[in-house]
């Protein structure tokens, strides 16, 4: 969490080398991120990402959006990729939309396709960059429900969000960022009820 421009997107985009960084060290499931392209590829296979704007291919059906990477990157046979995709579409509650195009779906449905698409690559970590910020209020919940069940299934997730209730309920750890720096990190209860930093108190007084 953190105010606008505090560096939240920049931070999570470094995890899969969408953004370069100058200091520090990033390690994903034992693989250290270097500038070697093969290494970046290896990390990207482990890290799924969901963006605020769903970034689906508009000319492909839902099913084709979800099977594209497994077929082209993982080299799965079409039939296997489609079987797995259908299971994922069922998991995110939009199985019946499989043959439609993104433009025919609501924002909440499109975001659930984007989640299924990321999961299709069987990532070890999922990054979410304000996944509900572009949605109408009534669609926020259906996406948060999917994320909640993903968290319960044990998926490691790093989520940039302004959804305070969701963060409080689902997170193991909340990180507050400000001016490109990590200000405070703590389990939700401690973060919301007993923050250590003045900056955190000020942030909470603005959002609660
Ligand atoms: N650690 C950093 N060092 C230097 N510049 C940074 C750092 N983190 C972010 N920036 C710069 O700060 C600006 C805002 O960052 P970013 O978009 O990541 O913020 P944000 O918290 O995601 O904002 P929003 O909530 O509006 O999306 C960008 O121009 C980015 O390049």
Residue of 1, 7, 11, 178 with the most ligand 1 atoms within 8 Å of its CB, for mutation: 7
Residue of 5, 11, 182 with the most ligand 1 atoms within 8 Å of its CB, for mutation: 5
What's residue 82's pLDDT? 98
Q: Is the CB of 6 under 6 A from ligand 1?
A: yes
Q: According to the 3-state scheme, what is the secondary structure of 14-41?
A: HCCCCCCCCCCCCEECCEECCCCHHHHH
What's residue 148's pLDDT? 97
Q: Residue 6 CA: which ligand 1 atom is closest?
A: 21
Residues whose CB is less than 8 angstroms from the CB of residue 82 and which lie 6 or more positions away in sequence, other chains included: 63, 67
Taking the C-alpha atoms of residue 203 and residue 182, their distance in angstroms, rounded to an integer, is 13
Q: Is the CB of 178 under 6 A from ligand 1?
A: no
Q: What percent of the chain has pLDDT over 90?
A: 85
What's residue 49's pLDDT? 96
Q: What percent of the chain has pLDDT over 70?
A: 100
Tell whether ipTM is more than 0.85: yes
State pTM to two decimals. Answer: 0.94
Q: Is the CB of 7 under 6 A from ligand 1?
A: yes
What's residue 30's pLDDT? 86
Mean pLDDT of 38-42: 88
Q: Is the CB of 133 under 6 A from ligand 1?
A: no
């Amino acid at each position: 969490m953190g105010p606008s421009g505090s560096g939240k997107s920049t931070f999570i985009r470094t995890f899969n080398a969408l953004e370069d960084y100058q200091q520090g060290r990033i390690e994903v499931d034992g693989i250290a991120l270097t500038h070697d392209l093969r290494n970046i590829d290896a990390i990207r296979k482990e890290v799924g990402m969901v963006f605020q704007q769903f970034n689906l291919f508009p000319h492909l059906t839902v099913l084709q959006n979800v099977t594209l990477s497994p077929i082209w990157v993982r080299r799965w046979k079409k039939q296997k990729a489609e079987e797995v995709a259908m299971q994922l579409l069922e998991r995110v509650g939009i199985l019946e939309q499989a043959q439609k195009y993104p433009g025919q779906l609501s924002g909440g449905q499109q975001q659930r396709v984007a989640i299924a698409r990321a999961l299709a690559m069987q990532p070890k970590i999922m990054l979410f960059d304000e996944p509900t910020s572009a949605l109408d209020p009534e669609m926020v919940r259906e996406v948060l429900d999917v994320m909640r069940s993903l968290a319960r299934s044990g998926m490691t997730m790093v989520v940039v969000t302004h959804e305070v209730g969701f963060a409080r309920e689902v997170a193991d750890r909340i990180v507050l960022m400000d001016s490109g720096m990590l200000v405070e990190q703590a389990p939700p209860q401690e973060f919301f009820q007993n923050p250590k930093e003045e900056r955190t108190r000020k942030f909470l007084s603005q959002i609660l």
